Structure 1
């Protein structure tokens, strides 16, 4: 049963970057959004009206990734200048910097306890760091091309990575071994992340598709050929029921993972949509694009307090996206999209998952 009652709505535009937005993230209290840009700056936007934005200058080249620590007391940023910076997101904008890789650093990601930082790079490596004193712990080195993205699982035991070698790799953090390589994408893989339950991963590719795998059986669960250009970014709703994507076709798309269908196509950005992220509670999401804009959207997924829904659905979320004993079979045709709709929810023409037990 879907929780959706109203269409998502665009709440605010944030303008201040001087080049394409590359990455964004919400603070845990939803009061701030961090963004990174090709203009080499990190900006901290306050979601409350009339609160000023902070511009942090320090990187010598494009900022490729930003993320708040779980506590919200730090923001990590990665850059083409081969460094990582840890910022205090206040008016002073103080930061510490360390040279993390021998090539462009593509992504930064904190573990759920905030003690560990994960970085990935064009030097084909993934590195794990202790946040305290930025101490290097170990690296993972089986990719044979640029590593665009690396993320910890919710429990911190696993790592997923996405690469221009067209693979998504799953790693055991403790043994430092590659558990599996998912090779079904036909293009470079730009982004990957874990489902909130930790049982599935999703990846976005230059082959215009998003794919979802079960990490226990290593089987492909869902395949979404819903975009007409490279998919740059994706974000799971904290309930685990929805996935949002951003693409070079300038659209954002919201997918219903339980029913295996496209719910919404959102038009807002002029030119490629480069990044998208749900807030920690899921009642908002933000998007960034080549148009130098950060957009804040209200999800409108439910009229009640979403924390109550998360509690009610706790046992359901733990089981993953779908019953893992089921296999998804999809028609070959792509979903029907209404060109006349700015913000659409079309009925009857969706590309649906048919589950065979």
Structure 2
């Protein structure tokens, strides 16, 4: 590497949730961060200093996942109340709601084109929906236990899912088939995601390990045993050369994927760390845990040595460049949400 690495530094500490923080996500322009909690609330935090935060109330039980749409105009949340809500992340926090599953919804994720959503549930299914009108399209039914996570690939063609049946499955969105099943974890698989290049996946498990596979050859590329507790979440740096992990052992670990080694161990949470995510630019990352805290860290090391990193098809901040088609879709959804809110108020 051409320049020395600097240690990540803790920059801010957000307090507002009244129970464990279960999930977090940055908007594409990194101006907002959303968090979900077992306190049944979604919070949206402005990253500018001294700006106020917003608490969105609507779910009837714990919120387990939040995810911004590619343009940042919408925010999806998944809950134990079996519903998914789509919020306008503004002061008023208006939302539309749909019953997504017959069990707890553990995961919700927007496709990169902004047109579809994928959800995962304790009812053992993964479902795909249109964003516009939240119309059910199809489901994947091959898991035999709770599905904790489902994510689209960067190009939107594939979906990865992680389950308590100890498998990680890759699905083809077009053929609606299971392309491959990775069965090498000895514990529940809490989380899985695609590398920004789309060529490999990483998975986090209660067996305390993180595994990285090539999805073309189905070969195990890397296997990390760096935590002393279950690994609950992970996030790839947008440049693709680092992976950050969050664990029940109360630490965050930063892994160097080029060297295949542990770079940093970060302490900041009192108790299990349940979620972690890099911002879309990679300048920051945030973590949340059972201590009800959200910590925002400055990455610092991310400026070093990108020359030999596999580049993603788009630039790191590409999600902010949204097509007119996506914008139009989101305008329609905004209108639907506002109409839905009016109808709800009239019923009351």
TM-score range (shorter-chain normalised) is: 0.7 to 0.9
Whether 1:317 and 2:286 are equivalent positions in the alignment is no
Superposed counterparts of 1:22-171, under 5 Å: 22-171=22-171
The match for 1:228 is 228
- Structure 1 CA distance, aligned partners of 2:141 and 2:174? 15
Structure with more contact order per residue of length (Cα contacts < 8 Å, sep ≥ 6): 2
Unmatched 5+ residue regions in structure 1? Answer: 320-357
In the alignment, which residue of structure 1 is the partner of 2:180? 180
Residues 252 and 12 (structure 1), Cα distance of their counterparts in 2 relative to 1, 3 Å cut? same
Q: Tell me if structure 2 keeps the 8 A contact 1:286–1:296.
A: yes
Give the deviation of 1:301 after TM superposition: 1.6
CA RMSD of aligned residues (A): 1.4
Whether the 8 Å contact between 1:77 and 1:108 is mirrored in structure 2 is: yes
TM-fit CA distance, 1:69? 0.5
Q: How far apart are residue 5 of structure 1 and its match?
A: 2.2
3-state SS, counterpart of residue 175 of structure 1? coil
Q: Offset at 1:317?
A: 2.3
1:289 correspondence with 2:283: no
Provide the rounded CA distance (Å) in 1 between the counterparts of 2:123 and 2:146.
Answer: 6
What is the match of residue 11 of structure 2? 11
Whole-angstrom CA distance in 2 between matches of 1:39 and 1:2 = 46
How far off is 1:313 after superposition? 6.1
Alignment of 1:208 with 2:208, yes or no, is: yes
Does the 8 Å contact 2:130/2:136 carry over to 1? yes
Give ranges in structure 2 of 5+ residues lacking alignment: 314-348
Would you say 1:21 and 2:15 are equivalent positions? no
Taking the aligned partners of 2:2 and 2:128, their CA distance within structure 1 comes to: 38
Secondary structure at the aligned position of 2:90 is classed as coil
Count the aligned residue pairs: 313
Question: How far apart are 1:3 and its partner, in Å?
Answer: 5.9
- CA–CA distance in 2 between the matches of 1:298 and 1:196? 20
Give 1:50 shift: 1.3
Deviations 1:126-161 (A, max 9, x none): 000000000110000000000000000000000000
CA–CA distance in 2 between the matches of 1:229 and 1:282?
26
Q: Secondary structure at the match of 1:181?
A: strand
Say which SS state the counterpart of residue 271 (structure 1) adopts: coil
2:311 alignment partner, SS class? helix
The TM-score, its normalising length taken from structure 1, stands at: 0.86
